[in-house]
Structure 1
Amino acid sequence: MKRNVQVLLLLFLGVGLLHISLLTDLYLRYVRPGLRPALIASGVLLIALGAVSAARDGFPFNRPRAEGGQGHDDGHGHGHAGGPKVAWLLYVPALTILFLAPPALGSYTASRDEAEAPKAPSSASSSGESLFPALPDTGVAPMSLNDFSARAVWDTDGTLEGHTVRLTGFVTPGRHGAWYVSRLVISCCAADAQVRKVRVHGAPAPPADTWVAVTGTWHPTGKAGTGNASPALDATAVRRVPEPKDPYHDMG
């Protein structure tokens, strides 16, 4: 039984990895796009190892009985070939990946982790050029939460003033009725996710984890350039949008 568990586990894990990385885009819920080739290679390798083990042991992986017909029995009717029953629990993560791929991280994570403060940009050049490029003079400017937050906290030139912007993310409830439009960004995988969120004023909160595009204007809080300001938006419109294929890629 123990050998059966090992072989089938390799096969299930391999098929699960190929399912989320080769046949679908579900892998983007857990890792960056650049890791897709590594996931595909890992899935193929696991299936190959499982197939080799199955071929070597013979299907259904039964080992020949020992001489005298005793096999692995101790002669008293108590077999010792079977592994611990808890080993079957190893199938849970393999089958979960294959049939019930967990969703991307959302408001539960964002509400329990503090938003990463945007880093202060490098000093302006000697020519006096602004730290941040000017926004379009007309229309709505799509922005990433990271760019908006950096301007709200560090931009002493006020490039956000007088401009309407659009931020896209998922809804994270806050305290006392407050809510945030949020994103989680990753360097490698979901385990290193960092929170980006902007508080929304002037609009009721949609349900948690709803993906929305929030249009509005900058809501000044604190003094920019001191690190005491926080990113906030006065909403003029909140529209529900589909969850993006890559939920960790914040491009506005």
Structure 2
Amino acid sequence: MRRQIQAALLLLTGSALLHISLLSQVYLRYVKEGLRPFLIASAALLLVLGLVSAVRDGFPFPSRRGDDESVDDEGVDDGHGHGHRDGPRVAWVLFLPVLALLLHAPPALGSYTAARETGNAVARVPEFGPLPDAGPVPLSLSGFIARVQQDRDRGLAGRTVLMTGFVTPAGPPAKDGTGTGAGTWYLSRLVVSCCAADSRSLRVRVHGKPAPPADTWVTVTGTWHPGGGALGTAAAAVAIDARTVRRVPQPVSPYQDTAPLPR
């Protein structure tokens, strides 16, 4: 019985990986696009191993075996004639995450994760090119943050930009009266180097428009919101005065790559 469970688990796990990586794009909720070939190869290997194991053990019609082998399948004899049957029973729990991938895949990370990290760390950009004359200028969140903190030429000053991300609610104001205040929230994006486990958040505070529900994907048009340090300094406020906020569908790839765009 134990070997039959192992074979079934291998087959289901391989099928689940193949479903999210080859037959759909659900895998982008968990890993970067470049890892797709490795997921497909892993799924194929698991399916082969599961089939070999199933054929070897006669699944689903197992062959008759002796008493000693039966004891090994059901559990380890404790020396008093009793076999421990916990192994196969516990193994069924492993089917739950596999069935979740097949029936209802967990969503991508969102505002709950973004609210717990405020680093806004982006790579250094050696040189920024000029922004297009026509506006609004489409920017990634990493590109906007990099220009706010690093562009000494103040290329964002007075320019209307357009950015897309998901909504992260602002925390409550502090007791001393400081804090996010009413009417502010964050446009967020998660950056991954490999997979969702190493994600980092990018957040731009939004002023001037009421917050949509958490995790709603929106496109925001507006201008840099001054405050704190000047543009092109590490202390510059990473914020935007919103003119329009438009709801959009979640992109197929919800995460942003690690490298910031220089524009």
TM-score of the pair, normalised by structure 2 = 0.84
Cα distance in 2 for partners of 1:49, 1:7 equals: 8
User: What are the superposed Cα offsets for residues 128-172 of structure 1, whole Å, 9 maximum, x if unpaired?
Assistant: xxx322212222111000110111112221111121110100000
**Which residue number corresponds to residue 220 of structure 1?**
226
1:100 partnered with 2:107: no
Q: Which deviates more, 1-10 or 193-202?
A: 1-10
Cα distance in 1 for partners of 2:30, 2:141 equals: 20
Cα distance in 1 for partners of 2:66, 2:88 equals: 22
**Which residue number corresponds to residue 50 of structure 2?**
50
For the Cα contact (< 8 Å) 1:213–1:239, is it kept in 2?
Answer: yes
Cα distance in 1 for partners of 2:191, 2:135 equals: 27
**Which residue number corresponds to residue 83 of structure 1?**
87
CA offset at residue 70 of structure 1?
A: 10
> What is the letter of the counterpart of residue 243 of structure 2?
T
Cα distance in 2 for partners of 1:7, 1:142 equals: 50
Q: 2:139 aligns with which of 139, 143, 150?
A: 143
**Which residue number corresponds to residue 10 of structure 1?**
10
**Which residue number corresponds to residue 179 of structure 2?**
none
For the Cα contact (< 8 Å) 1:64–1:71, is it kept in 2?
Answer: no
CA offset at residue 226 of structure 1?
A: 3.5
1:60-75, aligned counterparts within 5 Å? 60=60, 62-66=62-66, 71-72=70-71
For the Cα contact (< 8 Å) 2:28–2:253, is it kept in 1?
Answer: yes
User: What are the superposed Cα offsets for residues 190-230 of structure 1, whole Å, 9 maximum, x if unpaired?
Assistant: 11111111000000000000000000011122223441123
Q: Which deviates more, 14-23 or 158-167?
A: 158-167
CA offset at residue 79 of structure 1?
A: 5.1
User: What are the superposed Cα offsets for residues 77-120 of structure 1, whole Å, 9 maximum, x if unpaired?
Assistant: 95557725222111111111111111111100000112333344
For the Cα contact (< 8 Å) 2:152–2:233, is it kept in 1?
Answer: no
The change in CA–CA distance for 1:156 and 1:82 in structure 2 (over 3 A counts) is closer
The change in CA–CA distance for 1:114 and 1:61 in structure 2 (over 3 A counts) is farther
For the Cα contact (< 8 Å) 2:10–2:47, is it kept in 1?
Answer: yes
1:1-252, aligned counterparts within 5 Å? 1-60=1-60, 62-66=62-66, 71-72=70-71, 83-122=87-126, 131-176=127-172, 177=182, 178-221=184-227, 222-249=229-256
SS of residue paired to 1:197? strand
Cα distance in 2 for partners of 1:139, 1:223 equals: 22
For the Cα contact (< 8 Å) 2:21–2:27, is it kept in 1?
Answer: yes
For the Cα contact (< 8 Å) 1:54–1:61, is it kept in 2?
Answer: no
The change in CA–CA distance for 1:82 and 1:53 in structure 2 (over 3 A counts) is farther
Q: Please, what is the CA RMSD of the aligned residues?
A: 2.5
The change in CA–CA distance for 1:174 and 1:61 in structure 2 (over 3 A counts) is farther
The change in CA–CA distance for 1:175 and 1:208 in structure 2 (over 3 A counts) is same
Q: Which runs of 5+ in 1 are unaligned?
A: 123-130
For the Cα contact (< 8 Å) 1:30–1:190, is it kept in 2?
Answer: yes
Cα distance in 2 for partners of 1:65, 1:81 equals: 18
What number of residue pairs does the alignment pair up?
243
Matched-pair identity in %:
58
For the Cα contact (< 8 Å) 1:154–1:227, is it kept in 2?
Answer: yes
Cα distance in 1 for partners of 2:122, 2:235 equals: 12
Q: Which runs of 5+ in 2 are unaligned?
A: 173-181
For the Cα contact (< 8 Å) 1:107–1:209, is it kept in 2?
Answer: yes
Cα distance in 2 for partners of 1:79, 1:117 equals: 56
SS of residue paired to 1:18? helix
SS of residue paired to 2:35? helix
CA offset at residue 15 of structure 1?
A: 0.1
